[in-house]
Structure 1
Amino acid sequence: MDVTTNLSLGDPLEPARKATAAMLRERDPSFSLPQPFYSDERLFQIDMQEIFHKEWLIAGMTCEIPAKGNYLTLQIGANPIIVLRGAEGQIHAFHNVCRHRGSRLCVSDKGKVAKLVCPYHQWTYELDGRLLFAGTEMGADFDLKDYSLKPVKVKTAGGYIFISLAEHPPAIDDFLATLAHYMEPYDMENTKVAVQTTLMEKANWKLVLENNRECYHCNGSHPELLKTLLEWDDVTDPRASQDFKDQVAACTSAWEAEKIPYAHASFGLRNRIVRMPLLKGTVSMTMDGQPGSKKLMGRIQNPDLGSMRILHLPHSWNHCMGDHLIVFTVWPISAQETMVTTKWLVHKDAVEGVDYDVARLREVWDATNDQDRRLAEENQRGINSSAYQPGPYSKTYEFGVINFLDWYSERLLNNLGDTPATRLRQVGAE
């Protein structure tokens, strides 16, 4: 809903906002969320307005728009967005909405343009968003400077493009500086997307994230993934075996010799980077555990780098290996539908059919993504039942889920303006 409508009609979600804040304040953090958080369309709209319109999101990779005029588009709720590379390599982001009568400017997922030209009435914009041409029909007193494209906040680091629709998004620079350091060995400007997939899941976006944040289900569901993946995120995990700790110690010595960053770095509950070994004898997330691409990334000489795992809430997880990277992003569509995109990145000089085979590259995660889709959809079907009530999480096996929902609850309450200080002021006013 746009600001004009809010001003003229009020906010029809206001009762739902108050109820949402109350449910979050009263919930047991060690239990799953109340049913409306996974199924109610009003609460979905609140999620979009207060999480996906206010937090930082990964829009894509810088290598996807390598040259001036290259662009990519995406949809965040009702908001079409365009991200493009302008003059001198600068990356811009705008609402993909013409300032004339609101038509989308770019209708393709990706492309290259000299200028941004609206297909409806040919209003023309510079790549930095300035309106250049609107025709003499607008009259002599029409000022082009008043109708630039509406900008979207954008930052880049380590080959990733982050955007936020918020006027004042949360601080993220410390994480981005660390991300740039950890991604340095990969030389991300000299990579390319080898293949991308899109999966539609009939489940709430939070169920997709909850499923990702634990490996409690892995043994029963992911035979392909467990050919290489070790489920622990750190040697401090209470379930980590001594063999695993010894393997980490041996690997970190080798990584230090090559000056490969690996130490666990966390930024609250929203962001985490950590490099962990893969199963002994494997170096990449392929069916046989061997490199998916013969040409290694950046300055990397040793393919045995394990998997550097990057978490970015509310919607992304990543696996970075010596030969290729995998970037996952989650995009809410409705209360019970979510789009998951997966991108496999390789060195830009790697040749398909020579250095890598696309089918082999994506085999493990195609299977895993589909297995996770079925799990999330069955989870959603059960939650829709009148018999559902929040259930307890395992504090050892599902601590990642607890962390995600703690972050979500804190950010949603904060963005709703429901904080202890606010509540005290309200009580005083009463």
Structure 2
Amino acid sequence: MEKHVLNTMEDPLAAARESTVEMLQTRKRTFSLPQPFYNDARLFALDMQEIFEKEWLFAGMTCEIPTKGNFMTLDVGDNPIVIVRGGEGTIHAFHNVCRHRGSRLCTKDKGKVAKLVCPYHQWTYELDGRLLFAGSDMGSDFNLDQFGLKPVHVRTAGGFIFINLSDEPPAMDEFLETLEHYLEPYQMDNVKVATESSIVEQANWKLVIENNRECYHCNGAHPELLNSLQEFDDTDDPRATPAYKALVARKQADWDREQVPYQLQRFGQRNRMTRTPMLDGIVSMTMDGKPGCDKLMGRLPNADMGSLRILHLPNSWNHFMGDHAIVFRVLPLGPQKTLVTTKWLVHKDAAEGVDYDPDQLRRVWDATNDQDRQLAEENQRGINSKAYQPGPYSETYEFGVIDFVDWYATRMLENLEYDTPSLQLAQG
């Protein structure tokens, strides 16, 4: 008892860790998670520590910081982060925390600077994180070299920026190499953000991801999206129709001739990418299915390129088409609050009002995001009830949700330093 009390005092989440492990080890695998995973503050704190502070996160696009001195910021829970383009095009990521008294350095979402200067006492850092100036009042023995910014691991591929806040990030080289290959036709050095939106959903981040990983709800909720989107993206899907399989075969022959990759690639349950046709005769996720931007992306020969779908758990899904791309980032704000940011990308030379209309470009996903927000929030309200108990997923329609929850459960247990081969997940 004394040891347990001592551990709890040293780690306020010790009891929550023990109960989380027990719930994950005894859960029914094809059922939704127990209630605390969706609304408990202590379990949310564990999510932030064991998932969002240990896994690779999608942070933004390289095109958002195109030249030296451009920066962007984001918050991973209580951790403010700054990503900056340094000399020779190198991208750096740091904890956005001054080494003097801890003030945030960069207070805007994005901008451009010559140096990183703390607004509190003007400590000044080079773009590579070295402390350059701390005033003359620190004493003659003060060593600038000991107070550089604390770095954050950062990797880039295919125009994507990923960050990791842990000391020893998991490997992701194979995924990054494949991502680079699949996005080569889009020439990601030549894109820009045409428009973006951020919405706050009053729902746990896992409900936001679960909602994205299935289209079971699409017929009843997303009329705008279903003007263009196929409900499935794999010919092995048991719901795939003969017409869809014939369309896939025809389009894949076109993509072979055009040397554009399309094969389904999986990297465990964390990452997935595949190119799939949209509805026959539809070329883009717009209200009329026609191109939303007249200037095509990269070296793509025409707008009819289907959608390259890219999944990165725990916080991103994406659609790349011939005329534009849409990238999504999820960041938890609280046990029942999640920030979803959407960015629409076009060729960097596309002219607003000439080649594209931002309002037309975003209409489908503005509607879809709002519909998904309502669904997730109603899901959260029901889960908060004392009547809630885990319910069964459809293994046909919701296999993507099952994959996500399996990934989450496995990573939580591994990151909590339990030996995964010994774990016995109850089969539901």
Q: Which residue of 2 aligns with 1:323?
A: 323
| Cα distance in 1, alignment partners of residues 147 and 45 from structure 2 | 29
| Secondary structure at 1:260 match in 2 | coil
- Give the TM-score of the pair, scaled to structure 2: 0.96
Query: Which residues of 2 match residues 118-129 of structure 1 at below 5 A?
Result: 118-129=118-129
| Cα distance in 1, alignment partners of residues 61 and 36 from structure 2 | 34
Q: Which residue of 1 aligns with 2:365?
A: 365
- Give the TM-score of the pair, scaled to structure 1: 0.96
Q: Which residue of 1 aligns with 2:97?
A: 97
| Cα distance in 1, alignment partners of residues 245 and 340 from structure 2 | 33
User: After the TM superposition, which of the residue ranges 155-164 and 412-421 deviates more from structure 2?
Assistant: 412-421
Q: Which residue of 1 aligns with 2:346?
A: 346
1:221 and 2:221 matched = yes
The alpha carbon displacement at 1:367 in A equals 0.4
Query: Which residues of 2 match residues 20-419 of structure 1 at below 5 A?
Result: 20-419=20-419
| Cα distance in 2, alignment partners of residues 323 and 137 from structure 1 | 56
| Cα distance in 2, alignment partners of residues 412 and 392 from structure 1 | 21
Instruction: Show structure 2 runs of 5+ residues with no match.
Output: 1-5
The alpha carbon displacement at 1:53 in A equals 0.4
| Secondary structure at 1:136 match in 2 | coil
The alpha carbon displacement at 1:136 in A equals 1.2
The alpha carbon displacement at 1:420 in A equals 4.5
The number of aligned residues is: 419
| Secondary structure at 1:83 match in 2 | strand
| Cα distance in 2, alignment partners of residues 8 and 363 from structure 1 | 50
Contact 2:35 2:389 in 1 (8 A): yes
| Cα distance in 2, alignment partners of residues 125 and 420 from structure 1 | 43
**RCO (CA 8 Å, sep 6+): is it higher in 1 or 2?**
2
| Secondary structure at 1:138 match in 2 | coil
| Cα distance in 2, alignment partners of residues 419 and 404 from structure 1 | 20
The alpha carbon displacement at 1:418 in A equals 1.8
> Where do 4+ consecutive residues of structure 1 move more than 6 Å?
421-424
Kindly provide the CA deviation profile for residues 11-46 of structure 1, in whole angstroms up to 9, marking residues without a partner as x. Answer: 100100110010000001110000000010000000
The alpha carbon displacement at 1:301 in A equals 1.4
| Cα distance in 2, alignment partners of residues 118 and 84 from structure 1 | 15
| Cα distance in 2, alignment partners of residues 7 and 394 from structure 1 | 40
| Cα distance in 2, alignment partners of residues 216 and 403 from structure 1 | 15
The alpha carbon displacement at 1:181 in A equals 0.1
Q: Which residue of 1 aligns with 2:3?
A: none
| Secondary structure at 2:285 match in 1 | coil
| Cα distance in 1, alignment partners of residues 421 and 160 from structure 2 | 36
Q: Which residue of 2 aligns with 1:427?
A: none
User: After the TM superposition, which of the residue ranges 20-29 and 7-16 deviates more from structure 2?
Assistant: 7-16
Give the letter for the 2:16 counterpart. A
Contact 2:319 2:327 in 1 (8 A): yes
Contact 2:8 2:15 in 1 (8 A): no
The alpha carbon displacement at 1:233 in A equals 1.9
| Cα distance in 1, alignment partners of residues 228 and 138 from structure 2 | 62
| Cα distance in 2, alignment partners of residues 30 and 58 from structure 1 | 27
Contact 2:80 2:104 in 1 (8 A): yes
Distance change >3 Å, CA 253–CA 107, structure 1 → 2 = same
The alpha carbon displacement at 1:302 in A equals 1.1
Instruction: Please give the root-mean-square deviation of Cα atoms over the aligned residues, in Å.
Output: 1.4
The alpha carbon displacement at 1:423 in A equals 7.9
Q: Which residue of 2 aligns with 1:428?
A: none
| Cα distance in 1, alignment partners of residues 209 and 385 from structure 2 | 21
| Secondary structure at 2:137 match in 1 | helix
Kindly provide the CA deviation profile for residues 238-260 of structure 1, in whole angstroms up to 9, marking residues without a partner as x. Answer: 11001100000000011111111
Q: Which residue of 2 aligns with 1:3?
A: none
| Cα distance in 2, alignment partners of residues 422 and 75 from structure 1 | 35
| Cα distance in 1, alignment partners of residues 421 and 352 from structure 2 | 57
Give the letter for the 1:30 counterpart. T
The alpha carbon displacement at 1:121 in A equals 0.5
Give the letter for the 1:398 counterpart. E
| Cα distance in 1, alignment partners of residues 200 and 355 from structure 2 | 30
